[in-house]
């Protein structure tokens, strides 16, 4: 065959077929084609390379940590590099050749041009093309360096809102926030169900004076001293004895008392002068003394009363430091304890023995008797005692109520 024609055949498209050089017929040296055959042997690999292409241009396949290179040769040999085993080329007929034989120099017969045993072999083995990404058996790839997952969670459920944003923490003790230790909240707030908030509005009639209440007697009965809106019952222009209700005053009432020294107290609604201002020196409020400790509290025909007979006396201890007045009066309500006669009683200031007397009938009704003390009370004195005792008649007074008034008071 003409060598040029052979070259054309080798360049034909399609699978590159290489005949086994050991199976080719030998030609005598004098044969016209022997010289061409020798040249073909010498330049055959170059022609084969031109016809089949550079093995480095072959496609590569990377899978499961193994790089495989498939050579485009007539034998269809394939080399696989696992990183731990030698490559095993495979021919089209399924035979396997050891790696050392596959890499045999294709020009082993070059020393003797006419050596009939000279062979020309192309194994198709190749190193992976430059720039080809390879995956090793450890599973570490360049891509693993590009994406890193730390597994660290920086989100928090504290203060997280429904839209995924994080709200500012709620300061303890503030409005709408959790209460502090011992249910403490900021000033003006109180702890309710674990949260701080404005105090509940006061409830009039619960017996607790709170909020804007001026009084709270535990009921909503009007006219009993505290109205159903928790304001004091307006005082009439005069007291039961007809004296004006001006100035400052205090009143004791035995209607619900159990002992003579523990009556109910009421004070005039005068701004700046109340219970503590009536207190004698060294005390926090005015007091009632049972001088001879023999005054009993009993149920009488007019209700509960303190029985003050000729052997007993009650004394109201008070002080008026920083106060002056025009005159003083005492209104006594009750009756004579005896059903046979009326009773005479005396009211006086024990500090100077200045006082006046009054009388009361014995029928079964409440009588009101007024006593004018004029100026028996000493101005600006912090320790005085107003005493009442039975001084004549039946000799026993059923004392229901007593009001002591300083008219025209200035303080």
Per domain, the residue ranges of the chain are 3-127, 202-233, 248-407
Q: What is the per-residue pLDDT across 164-176, written as a single tens digit (0 to 9) for each? A: 666 678 998 899 9
Q: What is the per-residue pLDDT across 253-268, written as a single tens digit (0 to 9) for each? A: 999 999 999 999 999 9
> Exposed, middle or buried, 81 (CB in 10 Å: 0-12/13-18/19+)?
middle
Output DSSP code: residue 223: T
Output DSSP code: residue 7: H
101 compared with 179, residue with greater pLDDT: 179
Burial 180-208 (b: 16+ CB within 10 A, else e): eeeeebeeebebeeeebbeeeeeebbeee
> What is the overall mean pLDDT for the chain?
73
Q: What is the per-residue pLDDT across 7-44, written as a single tens digit (0 to 9) for each? A: 444 444 444 444 444 444 555 555 555 555 555 555 55
Does the pTM surpass 0.75? The reply is no
CB 251 within 8 A of CB 401: yes
pLDDT above 80: residue 252: yes
The CATH code that applies to domain 248-407 is 2.60.120.260
pLDDT band at 349, cuts 50/70/90?
A: very high
Residue 308: per-residue pLDDT: 97
pLDDT above 90: residue 105: no
């Amino acid at each position: 065959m003409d060598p040029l024609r052979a070259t054309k055949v080798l360049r034909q498209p399609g699978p590159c077929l290489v005949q086994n050089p050991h199976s080719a017929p030998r030609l005598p040296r004098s044969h016209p084609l022997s010289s061409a055959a020798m040249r073909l042997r010498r330049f055959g690999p170059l022609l084969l390379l031109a016809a089949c292409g550079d093995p480095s241009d072959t496609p590569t396949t990377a899978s499961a940590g193994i790089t495989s290179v498939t050579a485009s040769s007539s034998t269809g040999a394939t080399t696989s590099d696992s990183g731990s085993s030698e490559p095993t080329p495979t021919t089209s007929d399924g035979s396997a050749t050891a790696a050392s034989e596959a890499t045999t120099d294709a020009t082993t017969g070059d020393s003797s041009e006419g050596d009939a045993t000279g062979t020309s072999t192309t194994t198709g083995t190749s190193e992976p093309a430059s720039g080809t990404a390879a995956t090793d058996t450890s599973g570490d790839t360049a891509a693993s360096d590009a994406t890193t997952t730390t597994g660290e969670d920086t989100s928090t459920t504290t203060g997280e809102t429904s839209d995924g944003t994080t709200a500012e923490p709620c300061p303890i003790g503030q409005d709408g926030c959790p209460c502090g230790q011992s249910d403490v909240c900021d000033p003006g707030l109180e702890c309710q169900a674990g949260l701080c908030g404005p105090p509940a509005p006061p409830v009039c009639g619960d017996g607790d004076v709170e909020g804007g209440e001026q009084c709270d007697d535990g009921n909503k009965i009007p006219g009993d001293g505290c109205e159903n809106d928790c304001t004091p019952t307006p005082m009439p222009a005069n007291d039961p004895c007809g004296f004006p209700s001006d100035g400052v005053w205090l009143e004791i009432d035995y209607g619900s008392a159990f002992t003579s020294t523990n009556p109910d107290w009421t004070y005039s609604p005068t701004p700046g002068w109340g219970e503590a201002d009536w207190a004698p020196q060294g005390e926090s409020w005015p007091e009632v003394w049972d001088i001879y400790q023999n005054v009993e509290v009993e149920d009488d025909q007019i209700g509960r009363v303190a029985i003050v007979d000729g052997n007993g006396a009650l004394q109201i201890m008070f002080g008026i430091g920083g106060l002056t007045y025009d005159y003083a009066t005492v209104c006594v309500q009750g009756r004579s304890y005896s059903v046979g006669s009326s009773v005479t009683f005396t009211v006086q200031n024990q500090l100077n023995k200045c006082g006046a007397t009054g009388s009361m009938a014995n029928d079964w009704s409440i009588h009101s008797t007024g006593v004018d003390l004029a100026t028996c009370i000493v101005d600006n004195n912090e320790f005085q005692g107003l005493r009442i005792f039975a001084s004549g008649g039946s000799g026993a007074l059923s004392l229901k109520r007593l009001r002591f008034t300083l008219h025209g008071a200035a303080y």
